[in-house]
Structure formats: C-alpha cells, structure tokens
Chains A and B, each alone.
Chain A
C-alpha cells in the first residue's frame, strides 16, 4: 500500500462489514445513519462494490472477490498496481490506427471490457467525464488517447498533480484554448472551467480571478500533427508577472493550481463528485464533509478519498443501493463482462453513441449530466435493442457473440428455476419483486423443475427471450 493509501484508516473496510464504528474511523462514520438508512444485506456488498468500483462482475469474478472478503476486495481494487493488467496483452493482438476516432474508441472500450483492474479503468472513465475534452473540437484522436493514458497513469493520484498534468495535456489545451493563449490577450476559457467545473464550482471565485488565472496559462502552443503534440513554450508570449488570485499573489500555472487545491471549496467539490459517482447522487453536505476533510488532510489524495468512500457505511447503505442509473458504458460493458461475451467491441461502440454516450466526445465541457438524463424514450429503446442484439438470433447466430446454450452447458444449468435464478442472481442480485419473477416464469412457460435445455425450438427461443427480459428490466438499468 502506498503512502497516500495509508492516509485512510486501513481497517475501514472491516468496519464497514458491520463491526461498528471503531474509534479510529469515527471521523469517517460520523454522518448519521438516519441520513442514508440501514446497511444493505451482507451478500449484496461485493456485487454492489464491483458495480460501482468496476463495471459489474461475471460469476467467476464474483467468486474470486467474495473469497477475499470485503476488506480484501476493496484493497485489491484500490491497490491495483499489485494486479497485472490482463487487458494489455489481449489488446496487443489488434491493430488500431491512432488517427481514427473509431479505433481509439474501440481500444478504450476493450480496456474496460477486459481489464483486471476495474477501479483504475472506472477512474479513467470518471476523469474523462470530469476533466473533459472532446474530439469534436480537438480533432486529433491520438491526443485524446494520450489524455486517456494520462488519466490511467494518474487514476488515483493527488489531485493537484493530476490538474497540473492535465493543464499541459495537448488535448486539453486544444479543447479549452490555452493553446496559443498569449500575454496580450489571454484566453479565459481554461481558467474559467478549471474553477467552475474542475475544482470549486460557481460562486467561489470572481471574474477577476478568472482573468488573473488566465494570464498564468499564456505562452504555450500545441504543434500541429503529425508532430506528437508535446506543448511548446514561448516565453515572449507568456505573462510571467505576478497575479492577484484568490487573495494571493501567484505567478505560475502551478501556483494557480496549488492555490485552487488548497481551497476548502475544492475539497468539498471533489469529495461530493467522487461520492456521487461511487455512492449516491446529491449527497448531503454532512455526509460529504468527512471525505472533504480527508481530501484536505491528505493534500488532495484521490486514493485516500476513494478508499474511504468504498469502505464507508454510507456506501453500503440502503440509500446507495441501486441509487444510480447505469450510464450506457456501465450498461454495455457490464452486460458483456457479466455474461463473459467474447466481443471484440466491433459494432458496439456505435450503440453507446445512440444510447447517449460517445467515448471521447462528451456533449460539452461539463461532461455527461448523467442520472435521470440517461433515460428517455429514444435511449431506452437503444438499451432494449442492445439486449436484443445480445440474445436474438439473426442468420447463423447472435448479433453480438453470446452463446447461451454453451453458457448454460458450461455451468450445468438445466432446470427452469436454475436458469431463471442464475441470471436473476448474476444480473440483479436476485432482487426483483414477486410479480417481476412471476412474469419471467410465465413468459418461459415452464414449471420450476422442468428441464429447459434439451427441449424444443420454442423453448430455446424463450430462453433467449428470458435473458433479453432480464437485461432490459428496470432493475438491470440500475447500479
């Protein structure tokens, strides 16, 4: 465990198991239980954790993480450096043209699909949604991928270090116009979003702060392709004079970022963003406060804050369970991972676009608004049609290569109840209403004890329909 990882009480995960608020974590468990309700059942914790800190788990992965216990599972996710990345060598086998958007999108998608470090990839996805850049303006997929690598490398870094790195990331510089921003007339775009969307939020700085910060980011350009995009500094265009920023006198971009990260507003902002991403939306200030305090105390350690969230009572509360609507990426990557589908990503990334989420092209600098906005009549139809593409047969096989009969055979599932309960258990923690369960049995048209695998054509088609229905049902849209 790294130095900053230790900033969080190492025993916190065990506390979250319901042992009670040990003295060492009193700070982290200070928020009142009545705010977020009683804890969820023990057996729900690991699947809940793997949906939030990853993309959902297959039956095999679930067994692996369960064997580690909750504390061990959190450690494995957070201290991912100890886990070899399984996606690397599989991705090596494919050719990708880094100048083509579709190729770099697919390469990232496959990382999420194949990773053995789910939290690291989930953080990359988080950073892309927060510290956004979009290829629609950047226009250089290779630079988008370079930024993606930066997020991967700094997935759980200190926030100040990440902000400093991303401030000089060429895709970001093109996206928010620090490229070619000159002393004579500094471009304010990056300075404004740095404070509004990347750190403090509106109301914690003035227009003067925006103008002063913008001065510090002058003097840089991003060389055009085919150069690699390493930013070039031109001292003649840089404003190296003192700036009055948030009540301090600063000079460099690093000063600006250090000042920002030290603001209490930034600690609250980042703690709330991370908590909302992992636990539940619109958290109460008193629930966020201890995580903000931890951010401040650890000088902005994202690792410490994430570990603390993933081991907190609030994270394993009734309030947090099924409190988030899956994003299209979570829905699609999750389904493919959970069912062990040998997809190479082709024909899938476009579906994400139609569900409202195009990798490397968030709709604007604020990223995807998420939550309820994921679901409308059009995006719902796309989700349901994805479930159809996974399960329906067209020509010689499914549109996306999920082979249900082989899957059932491998797991030795034969009886109607074994099959229904397997998929309900894997995909929705076995938690649906009695009526919902009845709808599925009625649809299958078999008694619980019937053997449903050897049967006639209609029954085989019904089995595919069953998996379709579970992937499309409301419970599976939640995580």
Chain B
C-alpha cells in the first residue's frame, strides 16, 4: 500500500513532467454504468441549533413551561402532525415535506455528551465520542472507499477551511470559498509568461518535497489546487443555475455543489458549513433568520438539481454539535444542551424518525438522546452511498429505516 509520502511523490512527479495531473475529480459517469453515482451533501449548522424551536412539540405543556418567552405560538407554526410543527421560517421546505422528501430525525445525540462546542464538533466530525482523533469520518470515506462501480469518493469542501470531518486524507479535498476567485491569476502585462511562471511555481513546490512538518501539505495542496481549479472553472463556464440562489456564502456554496454534480465532476461528498446557531441571547429573531436562510438555500438547491434532472442523485443531511438547554435562560436565549435533530432532504422516507426525547425526564436540564448520531451516519453510508460503514465509523452501528 502506498503511504502518504509515496503517494505524494507519485503525484508530484506527474505534475512536473506534463502537468497532466490525475484529476482529483474523476469523471464518474462511464457509459456502461446503469446507476448514477450518488452524492452526499453534509450541511453543518454550526453553533448548536435549538432543536426544540426548530421542530416544536407545540402541545407539550413542558415546552410552554420551559419556554415562557421563547415558546413559539401555535398559530405561527407549520404543523406536521398533532404533536409537532416546524418553525415558520422553514416554510421553503414545506414543498419537500409534502412530497415526502424531507425526513427529520429527532433526539439525536450520543452517550456522555460534552457541552463544549469544540469537543462536541469533534465528536460529530470524527464520529467518535471518545475523541481518539482518528481523523474525520468523511475523510476516511474519501480516502479508502470505492462505490459499486469502483469509483473513489471525491470530496469537496465549501468555505475558507477544511472541515474536521474531511481532515485529513492523503490528498486533501479542494476547499472552495468562492468560485470566482478560485484560479491562479496572471501578470496582465506579460500574458505570454504565464505558463512558464506557473511551471516554475510548481517546480518550487516539487523541489521543497516533503521536507519538514508541512512538506506533504504543500505538495498535496498545490497539486490539488491546480487540478481542481481548472475543472471547476471549466464547469462554471458551461453550467447555468436554474434558480436564483441566496446571495450568501451558503447560497454560493450550494450552487457550486450543484454545478459539480450537474457537471459530473465525481464529487461524492460535499461539505457546506452554515453558522451562527449559538443563540445564548435574544434568540427569537436570530434563530428565525438562520433557519430561513437554511431553508431558502436548500429549497433552491433542490429545485436547481431537479431542473437538471439530478434531484434523486443528491441527498442533503444537516447536523449540529448539540441542541440547546430545555429551559430558556434569562437573556431570552438558550444555553448549550444535548440532543438535537438532523434533516435529510432528498430521496428518503419522508417524515419524522426517532423517538422524541422527553421534556420532563431530563439529565441536568438537558434532553436524553434517543438516537445515536452514528446510527444515522451508518444508514447514510450503507443505504445511501452503498459502502460499508465499519471502517469510516470504527465499528458497527444500527441502521434506521430512512430509505
């Protein structure tokens, strides 16, 4: 088996010789294939989303008692059944709900939860409550697994940073904050010298090799930037979105993922962060804004994919590091809590999944989880992407009937 250094050395030598980098984005769709490759889009609701005000147990007395000022009035909600209703800012997702394309898993958590954002984020991203730091669960997928057709799972991260869930395979996935700037610019007065300068630049990275603690990172990053920007820029020229995405980093990120899917760039795992759910104070307005932005972006994404005939090939899953405290605090906000919820949007078994956690049988004021998040991950890996979940999750987990 190739180790990291062998791998990089091989990759780099290809770069220097002919610039014909083995594309990180393998064209996944061979003619002979009968099934289209599926893509998983992971959306992070960073900061700890208040699940109780997202999927509201609107007739539960305990909800009213614990949320005297934050409790959402029944008339302002979107009822799903006689017990639960959606925050009205999620109205853009109503269409998907009615079509049976929106699943909501309740009570998601893990044993002995931490109330620290950063530990909890690591737990979810490494799929490991013991935090033994084996790397991200999606990185393990991108690294080793192949699908039924033998294709690797190329990853794509949106935003300024490599998310911990995608950290750190041999070749890190491309990370794109804004496609408009995702290219090496040239010297306008010296257009003829551009190729030569770029060749020298890559040769300097090659010459540095894997020396020191960052050598492997430099070579992999330069190589991966070079190959991915050309593929994505070429794609951006020929793809036209069928909808108007929200003009936000989240909207632009979703649009780029849609482009990569529509262009068959082989992206099988995409990661899109969406932030700011740490609503310790004056939660009502901010939470509504956040949920509205989420729902609007996802609804447009879905429509765009449908217009390109790819809606059934893409599943969106959301996660947040924890839910929030059942009882509101004195700042019209909520403090860090435990169990939360996950949305699954796509060709799923629509509806509510998982047992709703009790609002009266609490652990230090926090919900007791009813579904281990790794069960959801296992279901996504096995039943959506069609790979064994054991290596990515470091163990076997029960599956839910989500598909």
Contact = CB atoms under 8 A, between A and B. Distances in A.
Given A366-B117, A376-B157, A392-B188, A478 B177 contact: no
A462 interface: yes
Given A392-B189, A393-B188, A439-B204, A377 B161 contact: no
A24 B189 CA distance: 60
Interface stretch (B34-42, B178-186, B291-299, B385-393): B178-186
Nearest to A218: B330
Interface in B158-175: 160-162, 168, 172, 174-175
Given A192-B115, A322-B212, A393-B188, A381 B204 contact: no
B66 to A, nearest CB: 12
A375 interface: yes
Contacts of B276: 136-137
B117 A394 contact: no
A354 B181 contact: yes
A323 B212 CA distance: 8
Contact of B187 (A177, A461, A472): A461
Interface string A196-208: 1000001000010
Interface in A363-394: 363-366, 369, 372-373, 375-382, 384-385, 388-389, 391-394
Nearest to B229: A381
Contact of B172 (A196, A377, A388): A377
A180 B331 contact: yes
A180 B281 contact: yes
Given A384-B184, A461-B187, A473 B204 contact: yes
Name which of B157, B160, B175 has the most chain A CB atoms within 10 A of its CB. B160
B187, B204, B211: residue with the most chain A Cβ atoms closer than 10 Å: B204
A162 interface: no
Contact of A377 (B116, B190, B229, B327): B229
A107 interface: no
B117 A373 contact: no
Nearest to A368: B161
B217 A372 contact: yes
Contacts of A108: none
Interface in A175-222: 176-177, 179-182, 184-189, 192, 196, 202, 207
B214 A439 contact: no
Interface residues of B, number: 66
Contacts of A182: 330-331
A338 interface: no
Contacts of A469: 197, 200-201, 204
Interface in B209-255: 209, 211-215, 217-218, 221-222, 224-225, 228-229
**Chain B interface helix/strand/loop/mixed:** loop
A187 B201 contact: no
Nearest to A328: B160
Given A379-B175, A381-B183, A356 B160 contact: yes
Contacts of B186: 388, 392
B313 interface: no
B221 A185 contact: no
Interface string A450-479: 000000001001101100110011110110
Give the residue among A136, A389, A472 with the most B Cβ atoms within 10 A.
Answer: A472
B134 interface: no
A440 interface: yes
B193 A462 contact: yes
A381 B181 contact: yes
A384 B201 contact: yes
A202 B329 contact: no
B161 A363 contact: yes
Given A376-B175, A384-B184, A187 B221 contact: no
B9 interface: no
Contact of B221 (A356, A380, A392): A380
B52 interface: no
Given A373-B162, A433-B207, A443-B200, A382 B181 contact: yes
A379 B229 contact: no
Contacts of A464: 187, 190
B33 interface: no
Interface in A131-161: 136-137
B203 interface: yes
Nearest to B232: A377
Interface in A385-410: 385, 388-389, 391-395
Closest 3 CB pairs of A and B: A392-B187, A185-B330, A376-B175
Interface of B: 46-47, 114-119, 157, 160-162, 168, 172, 174-178, 181-190, 193, 196-197, 200-201, 203-205, 207-209, 211-215, 217-218, 221-222, 224-225, 228-229, 275-276, 278, 280-281, 327, 329-331, 333, 335-336, 364
29 contacts: A177-B281, A196-B116, A196-B118, A207-B115, A325-B214, A364-B278, A373-B162, A376-B157, A376-B175, A377-B174, A377-B176, A377-B182, A377-B221, A378-B160, A378-B225, A381-B182, A385-B181, A393-B189, A393-B190, A439-B203, A458-B190, A461-B193, A465-B193, A465-B200, A468-B187, A474-B204, A474-B218, A477-B214, A478-B214
Given A380-B225, A474-B215, 14 more contacts: A177-B280, A187-B329, A196-B116, A202-B119, A322-B212, A364-B275, A369-B161, A372-B168, A379-B160, A388-B187, A389-B185, A439-B204, A443-B197, A461-B187
